[in-house]
């Protein structure tokens, strides 16, 4: 796993079973003790560190931590993040989604939003019946409803634009 700390990239891994921390090519002994919900005590190569989580955005794998009184910005990247970056897809994933599209053919049972309405990530926007099941389609990010393109009772096809967002 890669850790980007204050803009500088490091390869690192922690093995709980052996109690070792791999930093680059160097393996070091490590002991980690959870002191509280947001605080850890670490001993790495006989040196003591106190680490406190200040801020976390787990969905983006970004964190702010304080270690022995010094603040650090940390971003984690696993092998899947690296693959997406190599394929050039990392930028595509961060682009704002401007449309709610039908994930499958179906029948619109209810439209839960109006044009001009502010919506929050995870909010239900529309109920779609497909394969005899009701599916709540949710907002993937905070946005404003620009245009509702379908109404209750409409039959829709896969990838058809249902609601435009901005």
pLDDT digits (tens, 9 = 90+) for 100-152: 999 899 999 999 999 999 999 889 999 999 888 899 999 888 889 999 999 99
The answer to whether the predicted template modeling score (pTM) of the entire model surpasses 0.85 is: no
Question: Whole-angstrom Cα distance, residue 102 to residue 149?
Answer: 12
Domains of the chain: 2-93 (3.30.700.30), 99-165 (2.40.50.100)
- Digit-coded pLDDT (tens) for 69-111: 999 999 998 888 888 778 877 665 554 567 899 989 999 999 9
pLDDT in tens, 29-39: 888 899 998 99
CA-CA-CA-CA torsion sign (9, 13, 14, 20): negative
- Residue 91: the pLDDT is 61
pLDDT, tens digit, 9 for 90 and up, residues 39-75: 999 998 889 999 999 998 887 889 999 999 999 999 9
**Structure tokens, 68:** 């022995």
- By the 10 Å C-beta count (0-12 exposed, 13-18 middle, 19+ buried), 105 is classed as middle
In the sheet with 118-119, reading across from the earlier edge strand, the strands are 99-101, 161-165, 143-148, 118-119
Residue among 143, 93, 137 nearest 121 (CA):
143
């Amino acid at each position: 796993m890669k850790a980007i700390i204050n803009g500088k990239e490091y390869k690192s891994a922690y093995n709980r079973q052996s109690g070792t921390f791999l930093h680059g090519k160097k393996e070091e002994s490590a002991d980690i003790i959870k002191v509280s919900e947001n605080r850890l005590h670490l001993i790495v190569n006989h040196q003591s560190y106190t680490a406190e989580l200040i801020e976390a955005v787990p969905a983006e794998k970004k964190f702010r931590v304080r270690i022995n009184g010094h603040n650090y910005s940390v971003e984690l990247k696993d092998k899947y993040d690296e693959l997406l970056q190599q394929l050039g897809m990392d930028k595509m994933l961060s682009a704002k989604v401007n449309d709610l599209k039908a994930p499958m053919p179906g029948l619109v049972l209810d439209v839960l939003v109006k044009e001009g309405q502010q919506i929050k990530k995870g909010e239900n926007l529309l109920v779609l019946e497909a394969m005899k099941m009701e599916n709540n389609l949710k907002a993937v990010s905070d946005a404003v409803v620009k245009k509702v393109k379908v109404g209750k009772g409409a039959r829709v096809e896969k990838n058809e634009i249902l609601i435009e967002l901005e």
